[in-house]
Amino acid sequence: MARLSRYLNLLLLSLWCLIILVTSCAAPTVIPGVKSTIRIDNLLYTYYGHNNAVTAVAWSPDGKEIASASYDKTVQILDAASGRHLLTYRGHTNWVTAVVWSPDGQYLASASFDKTVQVWNASTGQRLLTYRGHDKAVMAVAWSPDGKEIASAGYDGTVQVWNASTGQCLLTYRGHSDWVTAVAWSPDGKEIASAGLDTTAQVWNASTGKMLVIYRSHVGQVTSIAWSPDGKEIASVGFDRTVQVWNASTGRSFWIYCCHDWVNGIAWSPDGAYIASANTNTTVQIWNSVTGKPTLTYPDHGREVLSVAWSPDGTRLVSGDDDGLVRIWQVPASTE
């Protein structure tokens, strides 16, 4: 029965890809689900500090440290070069779902099932602020490029924009009809992209909350979104087993990679040339951001990969998995 169910799911997804290709007036490139045959094992080290799933990973802006969030209710900071443990933050009372560095690298914001976002000193772990504007679990958090504001999203169906120093709520966006599980600020700080269980990704003005674009090409929950470094494109992934890249201003699809496994996380390389995905099939996949073709596969984590992030210089990747492991990988000079 399990094999039949898997076959039917793949068949339905293939039919959906065909419908997109036939019916769209400006059809994106639809790429069949052929995984990269190039597998590399450039593992630098594995960090074993967590005792539950690692839900989010993030590099400090200077590339010297990595923060990892976990269902063990902690955020841990490690030295990016050696993997040495530096600090454990224990301010949350439930699963920690997201973590992000401030642009200047002095602070971290972490989100949790305890319905809070907490801002704390990255060097000492001292909590500076607790934001309590959500009435359900908070699933995503993003810091504005100028460091003045934070956007948080959650199971209450809202995205809330608030002052990073005072916690004052400045704007509540209610464009989604269900859980919001992803949020990302545009590189210029003028727009925010959000996505979630309603299968849409939405782009809206960060100051006014005015909706600008609704992207509707996903047919399952959208789990993660990322802006290209130039702010012109957005990559989105989800439980419809696709990786999609689309125009941030018009919502027009550039390419859709079909019949992938469920995708939990997405990250754009700093130079904009590649995309990394964290996948339920225990791998991290590298994609050409222009053609949509997979170029490299980092081998099995052993368990489902939940999160992935590029180093600021683009030479390394960090990934976290369902088994509580954090792994750091070297990225080859050429991934083609």
Q: For 164-221, how does the pLDDT look when each residue is reduced to its tens digit (9 = 90+)? A: 999 999 999 999 999 999 999 999 999 999 999 999 999 999 999 999 999 999 999 9
Question: Rounded mean pLDDT of 227-245?
Answer: 95
Residue 233: is its pLDDT beyond 60? yes
* Termini Cα distance of the chain: 39
> To the nearest whole number, what is the mean pLDDT of the chain?
89
Name the pLDDT band for 302 (thresholds 50, 70, 90): confident
The confidence score (pLDDT) of residue 25 equals: 34
The confidence score (pLDDT) of residue 292 equals: 86
- The pTM of this model reads 0.89
Q: Which residue has the tokens 């596969």?
A: 297
Question: Rounded mean pLDDT of 147-173?
Answer: 98
| Percent over 70 (pLDDT), the chain | 86
Spatial contact of 69 and 55, defined as CB atoms under 8 Å apart: yes
The confidence score (pLDDT) of residue 334 equals: 65
- DSSP states along 171-198: EEE---SS-EEEEEE-TTSSEEEEEETT
In tens, the pLDDT along 247-266 reads 999 999 999 987 668 999 99
Using DSSP, state whether 306 is helix, strand or coil.
Answer: strand
Residue 159: is its pLDDT beyond 80? yes
Alpha-helical (H) ranges within 40-186 are none
Residue 314: is its pLDDT beyond 80? yes
Spatial contact of 191 and 206, defined as CB atoms under 8 Å apart: yes
Give the range among 7-11, 194-198, 261-265, 270-274 with minimum mean pLDDT: 7-11
Please state which of the four CATH numbers 3.90.1750.10, 1.10.10.10, 3.40.50.2000, 2.130.10.10 is assigned to the domain occupying 31-330. Answer: 2.130.10.10
Domain boundaries, the chain: 31-330
Gap between the Cα atoms of 194 and 216, Å rounded: 12
Name the pLDDT band for 11 (thresholds 50, 70, 90): very low
The confidence score (pLDDT) of residue 300 equals: 73
Residue 41: is its pLDDT beyond 80? no
Residue 12: is its pLDDT beyond 50? no
Residue 40: is its pLDDT beyond 70? no
Work out whether strand 253-257 and strand 29-31 pair parallel, antiparallel, or are unpaired: parallel
Name the pLDDT band for 332 (thresholds 50, 70, 90): confident
